[in-house]
Structure 1
Amino acid sequence: MSAEVSSVVLGAGLMGRLLANALAQRGHKVVVHEAQGPDAQGAAARVAAAMLAPLAESAITELPVVRMGQHALKRWPELIAGLPAPVFFQQNGTLVVWHRQDAAEARRFTDILAQTQQQLPSLPAAQMLDASSLPVCEPSLASRFNQALYLPDEAQLDNRQLLAALLASLEQQAVEMRWHSPRAPEDFQPGQTGQPDWVFDCRGLGARSEWPQLRGVRGEVIRLHAPEVTLQRPTRLIHPRYPIYIAPKQDHVFVIGATEIETEDLSPASVRSTLELLSAAYTVHSGFAEARILEVSTQARPTLTDNLPAIQQLGERCLQINGLYRHGFLISPAMLDVVVEWVQHQTTTLATQFNLKFDHV
């Protein structure tokens, strides 16, 4: 593309940073407007486990998200490889465990995954582990569980390392970052003299005035330092009331979460939800009893009516990308590639491939 193409990106969360970086790499002169500062405190992506688990997530979402998640498993290593700072990435599968009293719930979960795998045969099938194979897969859990499901090829990354590395890449490419500078699409007339060629709205919940179907869904995440716990991969506990995930990061840091509350309230986490998360984690591994709580965080994820992502065109050269919900890291590479394809060709076959809603004029 011509080096004279100019683009404005609104929002410097995960989607905004990914898109600004991709556009700069393709020769665009990029300006990013962000309502808050460079630490991504207002971004849903900062409060996340960043698990890339398309089969596991199929238990609560639809096939378009699963397809985009498959795409992400291939794309994330490519995207990370081009960044100037290291980002922890692990592709060691997902482990799903349950206590004996929750065996019926586990069977229901297993049946859902089997249906997904039938619909998408390219997904590796879940593998049932028993008392002899579980210790080989996850030695530290062998004494607590007699059965588990192993989901091959699923992955995770470090969300905060990624956000920082993307920012470093933007700065390296001389992208103009305008912090504490809230802007809206109507502030620009793309294509007119003195205006950018393209405008991309990646503001999440900040875009509600233009996209009224958006709502916030609250999530709560606890970060622990647990030197006595070793897990080889993200682990999920099936439970009818408080299923949780435990994502092991580097240096014995663990991200624990589960809660979804239909509210945009960003007040601190309640005692009840904190106790439930920590108690559930302790039942997975007793070493969490001596862990140190590094942080208890809350954030509201931008979510559309059907809980699925979408792209809409406000004008010939203005796109809104939103509704990533709890699947931001799982689906953002696919969303990115659809947008880049549209910018380059004014058409997209990828959106059809992913069954992604793309309303264009």
Structure 2
Amino acid sequence: QGYYALSRWPALLASLPEPVFFQQEGTVILWHRQDAGEAKRFSALLAAVGERLPHLPKPQQLDAQALAELEPSLAGRFGQGLYLPQEGQLDNRQLLAALLAKLRQHGVEVEWGRPWDLEQARAWQEQTGGWVLDCRGLGSRKEWGGQAPLRGVRGEVVRLYAPEVSLRRPTRLLHPRYPIYIAPKPGHLFVVGATEIESEDRSPVSVRSALELLSAAYAVHPAFAEARILELGSQCRPTLADHLPAVVERSPRLLQINGLYRHGFLISPAIHDAVLEYLHHGSCRLAQQLGIPFQVQAAPLAGESLSPCVS
């Protein structure tokens, strides 16, 4: 799903009325000497994925010189690393703004801060026709029609302004407890995240998490010590048992799309294309091809069981 989606992003972004930062310069994986065991485990995991999916780009081993050539600002800081070519990133906030502008171009009416349940959506559908797409995440947990329950997984991030740091591509620091990522954005902005807590607590970021995120960023590049903290944010991702998304036709012409977990921006083009194929052609060929669980109503009667969608 992710590999398919990565190839779709450029075309989707080109159709938007506002620019969105996007690049495919890969990802750098780093670790400290004491975490060499974690690096070995991670490399074995990548090798296993490569055997199952041989079309994926192969990870490249980096020594100190190769790392310095790839990311000059890390020269002399780490003796080895891994490079995952062709991995990409985009600016999610720019994307959301561009999508809103596109909706307004099409005359779509957008209402903010107004919660709807499925009964209200069905009532609206009876009056206007068309499709209802339920993408409320954890907001639809009580009405979720899938076979596995939804749960929340808490994540915490910090946004930094660090004019003295010049990372060109996302960087991950392996650690047994918190494999941190640092994602560079335009204008020397960096998003740092790592925490993955099995909790639906939506309270502010804890002191422990903030210390871990900031300490790991400083360990990657000491100039982060002078960075300015712009935001500390927390939220819960809607997650299914297998950590994969699912699409369910709750009732005729009402689709529930959920369970994107922490993969939302990575795989959303795949979900987008699979859903559009079903809306326009009644087919789940792409969903089956990409391994997206896609269930349709066996019959329009309430209480009917759900069956796998077939082309």
Question: By the TM > 0.5 criterion, same fold?
Answer: yes
What SS is found at the alignment partner of 1:337?
helix
1:81-160 aligned at under 5 Å gives the runs: 81-160=14-93
Q: In structure 1, what residue type is equivalent to 2:11?
A: E
Runs of 4+, deviation exceeding 6 Å: none
Please report the TM-score for the alignment, with normalisation by the length of structure 2: 0.92
Structure-2 change in CA distance of 1:356 and 1:262 (3 Å):
same
What SS is found at the alignment partner of 2:243?
coil
Structure 2 distance, partners of 1:117, 1:179, is 43
Q: In structure 1, what residue type is equivalent to 2:162?
A: A
Structure 1: give runs of 5+ residues left out of the alignment.
1-67
Shift of 1:184: 2.2
Identical counterparts, % of pairs: 63
Q: In structure 2, what residue type is equivalent to 1:345?
A: H
Match of 2:135 in 1: 202
Structure 2 distance, partners of 1:151, 1:190, is 48
Check whether the contact 1:308–1:323 (CA below 8 A) recurs between aligned residues.
yes
Structure 2 distance, partners of 1:252, 1:217, is 29
Structure 2 distance, partners of 1:100, 1:227, is 28
Structure 2 distance, partners of 1:259, 1:297, is 11
Structure 2: give runs of 5+ residues left out of the alignment.
298-311
Please report the TM-score for the alignment, with normalisation by the length of structure 1: 0.79
Shift of 1:193: 5.8
1:142-291 aligned at under 5 Å gives the runs: 142-189=75-122, 194-211=127-144, 213-291=149-227
| Deviation sequence 1:265-324 (CA, Å, 0-9, x none) | 111111111011100111110110100000000011111122211000111211100000
Check whether the contact 2:57–2:85 (CA below 8 A) recurs between aligned residues.
yes
Shift of 1:84: 0.8
Structure 2 distance, partners of 1:268, 1:310, is 29
| Deviation sequence 1:102-134 (CA, Å, 0-9, x none) | 111101101110111111111100000112211
Q: In structure 1, what residue type is equivalent to 2:235?
A: Q
Shift of 1:192: 7.3
Structure 1 distance, partners of 2:256, 2:125, is 19
Check whether the contact 1:222–1:256 (CA below 8 A) recurs between aligned residues.
yes
Structure 2 distance, partners of 1:290, 1:342, is 50
Structure-2 change in CA distance of 1:193 and 1:292 (3 Å):
closer
1:286-305 aligned at under 5 Å gives the runs: 286-305=222-241
| Deviation sequence 1:229-271 (CA, Å, 0-9, x none) | 0101000000112210000000100000000111111111111
Taking only aligned residues, the RMSD between alpha carbons, in angstroms, comes to 1.4
What SS is found at the alignment partner of 1:282?
helix
Check whether the contact 1:190–1:199 (CA below 8 A) recurs between aligned residues.
no
Match of 2:258 in 1: 322
Structure-2 change in CA distance of 1:310 and 1:139 (3 Å):
same
What SS is found at the alignment partner of 1:313?
strand
Number of aligned residue pairs: give it.
294
Structure 2 distance, partners of 1:85, 1:104, is 44
Shift of 1:337: 0.5
Structure 2 distance, partners of 1:253, 1:191, is 42
| Deviation sequence 1:31-55 (CA, Å, 0-9, x none) | xxxxxxxxxxxxxxxxxxxxxxxxx
Shift of 1:71: 1.0
What SS is found at the alignment partner of 2:194?
strand
Structure-2 change in CA distance of 1:188 and 1:98 (3 Å):
closer
Shift of 1:201: 0.5
1:24-63 aligned at under 5 Å gives the runs: none
Structure 2 distance, partners of 1:178, 1:257, is 30
Structure 1 distance, partners of 2:205, 2:122, is 42
Q: In structure 1, what residue type is equivalent to 2:153?
A: V
Check whether the contact 2:135–2:256 (CA below 8 A) recurs between aligned residues.
yes
Shift of 1:187: 2.2
Q: In structure 1, what residue type is equivalent to 2:25?
A: N
What SS is found at the alignment partner of 1:350?
helix
